[in-house]
């Protein structure tokens, strides 16, 4: 998978927006950016993915820069239940499995 870089940890106040950055400067033109999160002792949960355009669903928004070398996952109103490790993954074309890095540990503070 394309190499991604994420900050190891972030804090966010409950009710505030959480903005999680990811750098993926080696991304190719047809590779998607995926975001998953893993809450303690659970399997990873799919959040959102995108190719070029910004995307929004019921969980989050994904902002991808025009050059596609970085992206930001936005949780608009973070709650305590959003405390988790968030993974930004760019699967290589043709490689079906996902490679998990260290991710960003988001701690939502009351």
Minimum separation from the CB atom of position 87 to another protein (A) = 8
What is the rounded CA–CA span in Å between residue 32 and residue 50?
Answer: 6
Nearest approach, Cβ of residue 54 and another protein (Å): 16
Is the Cβ of residue 13 or residue 100 nearer to another protein in the bound state? Answer: 100
Report the interface residues with another protein, using CB under 8 A.
Answer: 32, 34, 36, 38, 41-46, 49, 87, 96-103
Cα 81 from Cα 95, distance rounded (Å): 32
**Residue 16 CB, nearest distance to another protein (Å)?**
26
Query: For residues 67 and 65, what is the distance between their CA atoms, to the nearest angstrom?
Result: 5
Indicate the residue among 76 and 100 with the shorter CB distance to another protein.
100
SS3 64: strand
Torsion sign over Cα 67, 30, 3, 72: positive
Beta carbon nearer to another protein, 25 or 45: 45
**Of the two residues 14 and 61, which places its CB atom closer to another protein in the complex?**
61
Between strands 18-23 and 70-75, the pairing is antiparallel
């Amino acid at each position: 998978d394309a190499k991604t870089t994420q900050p190891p940890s972030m804090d966010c106040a409950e009710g505030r927006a959480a903005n999680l950055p990811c750098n993926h400067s080696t991304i190719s033109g047809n590779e998607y950016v995926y975001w998953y999160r893993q809450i303690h002792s659970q399997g990873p949960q799919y959040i959102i993915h995108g190719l070029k355009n910004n995307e929004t669903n019921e969980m989050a928004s994904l902002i991808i820069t025009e050059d596609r070398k970085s992206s930001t996952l936005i949780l608009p109103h973070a709650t305590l239940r959003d405390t988790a490790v968030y993974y930004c993954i760019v699967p290589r074309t043709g490689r079906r499995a996902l490679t998990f890095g260290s991710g960003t540990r988001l701690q939502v503070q009351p």
